[in-house]
Structure 1
Amino acid sequence: MSRARLRWNGAAATGAIREAAARGLLLGAEHVLAESRKRVPINEGTLERSGGASVDEQQMTAAVSYDTPYAGRVHEDMTARHAPGRSAKYLEGVLPESTGEVQALIAAQVRRALR
């Protein structure tokens, strides 16, 4: 009869999974940012360059934002005319389209941590 010994390091595993999920969240937020930058209305490029992605590792949430005084107004103004491919709702429109990619990025990081 053979014997096997198993040592469970639950706390270490949980920590590694949380770190991996946070990395995946950041990658996902950066993906959403990159896709939204393709739609941001461009005049001088300031709005596009002001975009950023961040992660709150304690809350396990990610954020994508544009930091100009007029970012919100440009995002919400559905009556403004923009160059082809550029539009209002440049961030909001990308979110539902990117869900699968974001989930895949997070899952890939967690899988790597579990190896």
Structure 2
Amino acid sequence: MRVSPQRSRLRLNGDAVLRGTRAGALRGLRLAAEHVLTESRKRVPIEEATLERSGTASVDESSLTATVSYDTPYAVRQHEELTYQHDAGRTAKYLEGPMTEQADQAAAIIAAQLRRSLRG
């Protein structure tokens, strides 16, 4: 009995893969930024919650970068002034601390979304 060789053909749609990967990266960046913002809001100095409510997470799709920011006239001063007294659990460096501490988790969130996008 003669067995004929089995052939397989794989077609890779590179453009679709790149689109999916980019979409996964954007989704991951958005989720990671939201995660850091959530952790940061737990520490932001709070009196009337104006500073906390001003926090936003955004993604620049063209450069694939995420930003977490607070937008009040005193946000930077509150972040940098280490001598200010705050309520328990609230502190200066309310954004820097969570960004550093959550870096591994943020990377894991992005990686999970990239993997998800590759599974299609």
TM-score (norm 1): 0.98
Larger radius of gyration: 2
Letter in 2 for 1:87: T
Aligned with residue 69 of structure 1, among 66, 73, 78: 73
Distance 1:11 1:47 in 2: 43
Identity %: 62
TM-score (norm 2): 0.94
Distance 1:81 1:61 in 2: 33
- Structure 2 unmatched runs, 5+: none
After the TM superposition, which segments of 4 or more aligned residues of structure 1 sit over 3 Å from their partners? Answer: none
Distance 2:10 2:61 in 1: 30
Aligned with residue 83 of structure 2, among 51, 68, 79: 79
SS in 1 for 2:96: coil
Distance 2:12 2:116 in 1: 18
Residue 103 of structure 1 aligns with which residue?
Answer: 107
Letter in 1 for 2:44: V
SS in 1 for 2:102: helix
Deviation at 1:44, TM superposition (A): 0.4
Aligned with residue 113 of structure 1, among 101, 107, 117: 117
Deviation at 1:11, TM superposition (A): 1.3
SS in 2 for 1:29: helix
- Structure 1 unmatched runs, 5+: none
Distance 2:91 2:117 in 1: 38
Distance 1:99 1:92 in 2: 11
Residue 34 (structure 1) aligned with residue 56 (structure 2): no
Residue 15 (structure 1) aligned with residue 19 (structure 2): yes
SS in 2 for 1:62: strand
RMSD of the alignment, in Å?
Answer: 0.6
Distance 1:80 1:50 in 2: 20
Deviation at 1:110, TM superposition (A): 0.8
Distance 1:68 1:27 in 2: 23
Distance 1:83 1:55 in 2: 31
Deviation at 1:57, TM superposition (A): 1.0
Distance 2:16 2:40 in 1: 36
Letter in 1 for 2:95: L
Name the count of aligned residue pairs: 115
